[in-house]
Structure 1
C-alpha cells in the first residue's frame, strides 16, 4: 500500500504538527506500507524539490506570488495541487491522505478527482478556530464563516474523514456529516522515543537558581495557552508553597507580554522566563520541571482539540496539571493520571498546584498511571492500525490497489492507472 500524505509543513521544522506527522509516517512504515509526504507553500523555501529527513521522503511545492486574502489562499491551493501532481508522478500512490488545514484538502480534491485516487482528509483542528486561538481571527467574522463553510464543503466531498478527537467528531456530526464516514485517530506518541526521563541537570538548575518545586511549561506562547493565568497564579502559589518556582521555556506571539508580566510580578524572583532554546537543549530544561502545567483558556479550540504535549509529558513519566477543558478531559483523568483545574482562574491554578506540591507521596503512582495510559491507549504503534480498515475500504470501493511501484512512470494519457475522474 502506497500512501501520499498532503501536509502544511514537515520536518525538518519542529512543531506539534510535524511531530504528529513523523509519528504517523514512521508507524505506517513499520507496518510495511510505503509512505511519502508533499508539503504546501507554507512550509517555506526548501533546498530542493525532494528532501529526506529521518528516513522520510518529502516532496516540496513551489510558493506562489503573495496576494491578499482570498486570492493568496487560492494561489496556495493551486501551488499545492501542482506539487501533489509532481509527487504523484514520482511516488505513484494508491491513496491520498490530506491533513488539515482545509487548503490542503481543497488542493488534494482537485488532484484526486483528476487521477481517480481515493482521498482521506484528516482534521487536526478547524482552521477558523485555530485563527481565533492564535489571535489572527475573530469568531463570527466573515473570514471565520467562509473558512467554516469551506471546511464543511470539503468534508462532504472527500471519500472519508479522520479527526484527532471526539470533540471534532461531534462537531462534524452536528454539521450533518454521517458518523460512519468519520474515524478518530487520536493524538499519540512514539513510545520508542520515550524511555526513562533524563536525570536532573544540576548545572543548569544552579545556573537558573532553581530548586526542587518547579512548575514548568515548554512550548509555544499563544494566548489560548493561558500562560498569563499561570503567571498570575504565582503569588498565591508562593504564599502556599514558598519554594515554588515557575520556568517558562519557548516563544511566540505572547512572549513579550509574558516576559513583562513575569518581570512585574510581586514574586518575580520565583519566575524564570527563558524564552526559546535550541531544540537539542530542550530535554535539559524538562529535566528541571516537577510539574508540567497546561492552563489552556476555555474556548472552542481548546474544547474541541486535544493537544500533544501533555501526552508526551505523561509518556516521559512526568506529572501534569491542566485546565478542565474538553481537549484535556479526553487525555487526563483527574486525580489518577493528572490534575484538572478550572480554566481562566489563577486562584484555581494556584490551589491545584499547591495541593500537588504538598502531596509528593502520591507522585510515583500518578506518574506510573499516566505512563500506562499512554502505552495502552495512545501509542502510535497500535493507534496507526486504525487507518488500515479505512484505507482498505477506500481501495475496495475504488476497484483494486494499484501496482505503480512495479512499473516505470508513464504519462497520464497512456497509463491505465490514471482513470477518468469519478
Structure 2
C-alpha cells in the first residue's frame, strides 16, 4: 500500500501541525505503509533547489522552487492581491500532485487541511480514480473570527466555511482530531460513518529513553510551551503570576508568536520578576527542557477553536511525567480528566487559575504522583503514534477493499 500525504506545511518548519505530520508519516512507515509527501507552494524546502527533501528516510516532494518566476508568497501578507495570488497557485499544485500520484502509483491520497490541499487532492483523485482521505485538524475560519472582527475577516470566514464544507463532503473518509470537530462536521452535512477520530499523540519511546534531572529545587517551576498567540491565554497567566510574586514560583514561556514582544514589554514595565521569556525551543531540545520543569500549564481561552482542537504539548508533558494543569476548554477536556490525569481550572477565570497554581505550590509536586502516573498510563494506552498508525492502516484497507 502506497500513500501520498498532501501537506500545507511540513518540516523544516517546526510548529504543532508539522510535528503531527512528521509523526503520522514516521508511524505509518513503521507500520509497513509506503509513504511519501508533497507540500504546498508556500512551504520552503531545506534548499529550495531540489525536487524533494529526504527527512527521516521519507521523501517530501516540494512544489515551491526559488526562481524569479516563482517567488515566495509571504503568509503574513493579507492583501486581496496576495489572496488571489495564493489561490492561483492551486492550478500548478494540482499538476504536481497529479504527476506525482501517477508516477509513484499511489493507492491513497491523504490530504491534510486546509482546503487548498483538500480541493487539489480531490480533483486528482477524480482524474486518477484514487482514494481521497481528508484530515481536519482545525478549522481556519474559526481562528480568523478570533483574531479579527472586521467585515473582511467575517466575509473570508464565511467563504472558507463553504469551501471547507464542500471539501469535507467530497472525501471518501474524513479524519478529525477531536469529538468537538466531529460534531462540527456532522452539522456541515458530513456522514457519521465516514468520520474517524484520530487524536494527537506522542512518541512514547522518545520520552522513555530520556534521562531526567531529578534535582530538588526550592522553586516550583511552571512552563508554557507553544505558540504565543491570543487564544492561548498567556496574558491572563502573566497577570496571575504577578499576583503570586510573593511565592517561590517561576513561569518560563517557551515559543514564538505575534504577542511575544508585547509580553516582554509588559513583564519589563510591570517588573514581573517571576516570568521568564525563554524564546523558541527546538524539538530536539524538549527532553532537556522538560527535565528542568515541574508543571506544564495551558491556560487556553474559551473559543470555538479551543473547544475543537486538542493541544499536543500536554500529551508530551504526560509522557515526560510532568504534572499538567490547564483550562477547562473542550479540546483540553478530551485529554484531561480533572484530578485523574491532570488538573483543570475554569477558562478565562483569573481567580480559578491563581487558586489552582497556589494549591499545587502549597501541596508540593510529590502530592500529585498518582495523577502523574495516571497521565503516563493514559498516553501509553490511548495516545501513542504506534496505536494511531494501526487506525490509519485500517481506514486505508477498508477504503481500498470497497474500491476494488
**C-alpha distance in 2, partners of 1:277/1:313?**
15
* Residue 362 (structure 1) aligned to one of 361, 367, 372: 367
Secondary structure of the structure 2 residue equivalent to 1:395: helix
Equivalent position of 2:57 in the other structure = 55
Equivalent position of 2:15 in the other structure = 15
Question: What is the TM-score when the length of structure 1 is the normalising length?
Answer: 0.87
Moved more, 54-63 or 175-184: 54-63
Show the 5 A alignment for 1:225-304.
Answer: 225-239=232-246, 242-265=247-270, 268-304=272-308
Secondary structure of the structure 2 residue equivalent to 1:348: helix
Show the 5 A alignment for 1:338-353.
Answer: 338-353=342-357
User: Cα deviation per residue 1:230-281 (whole Å; 9 max; x = unaligned)?
Assistant: 1011133334xx1111111221111011111222335x12111222345544
Number of positions where the alignment pairs a residue of Structure 1 with one of Structure 2: 390
**C-alpha distance in 2, partners of 1:330/1:195?**
24
Shift of 1:86: 3.2
Gaps of 5+ in 1: 400-422
Secondary structure of the structure 1 residue equivalent to 2:324: strand
Shift of 1:186: 1.0
Show the 5 A alignment for 1:165-176.
Answer: 165-176=178-189
Show the 5 A alignment for 1:129-144.
Answer: 129-133=142-146, 141-144=154-157
Shift of 1:318: 0.7
Residues 144 and 153 of structure 2 are in contact (CA less than 8 Å); yes or no, is this contact kept in structure 1?
no
Equivalent position of 1:413 in the other structure = none
Show the 5 A alignment for 1:14-413.
Answer: 14-45=14-45, 46-62=48-64, 64=70, 66=73, 68=81, 70-133=83-146, 141-195=154-208, 197-200=210-213, 211-239=218-246, 242-265=247-270, 268-360=272-364, 361-399=366-404
Secondary structure of the structure 2 residue equivalent to 1:41: coil
Moved more, 389-398 or 142-151: 389-398
Secondary structure of the structure 2 residue equivalent to 1:24: helix
Secondary structure of the structure 1 residue equivalent to 2:212: coil
Residues 40 and 79 of structure 1 are in contact (CA less than 8 Å); yes or no, is this contact kept in structure 2?
no
Secondary structure of the structure 2 residue equivalent to 1:261: helix
Secondary structure of the structure 2 residue equivalent to 1:42: coil
**C-alpha distance in 2, partners of 1:137/1:286?**
40
**C-alpha distance in 2, partners of 1:83/1:149?**
25
**C-alpha distance in 2, partners of 1:389/1:137?**
44
Shift of 1:55: 1.4
Shift of 1:81: 1.4
Call closer, same or farther: CA 1:224–1:57 in 2, change over 3 Å.
same
Secondary structure of the structure 2 residue equivalent to 1:238: coil
Secondary structure of the structure 2 residue equivalent to 1:286: helix
How large is the RMSD of aligned CA atoms in angstroms?
A: 2.3
**C-alpha distance in 2, partners of 1:171/1:258?**
33
**C-alpha distance in 2, partners of 1:111/1:84?**
7
**C-alpha distance in 1, partners of 2:150/2:168?**
22
**C-alpha distance in 2, partners of 1:133/1:3?**
35
Moved more, 246-255 or 84-93: 84-93
Moved more, 213-222 or 39-48: 39-48
Residues 320 and 338 of structure 1 are in contact (CA less than 8 Å); yes or no, is this contact kept in structure 2?
yes
Deviating runs (4+, > 6 A) in structure 1? 136-140
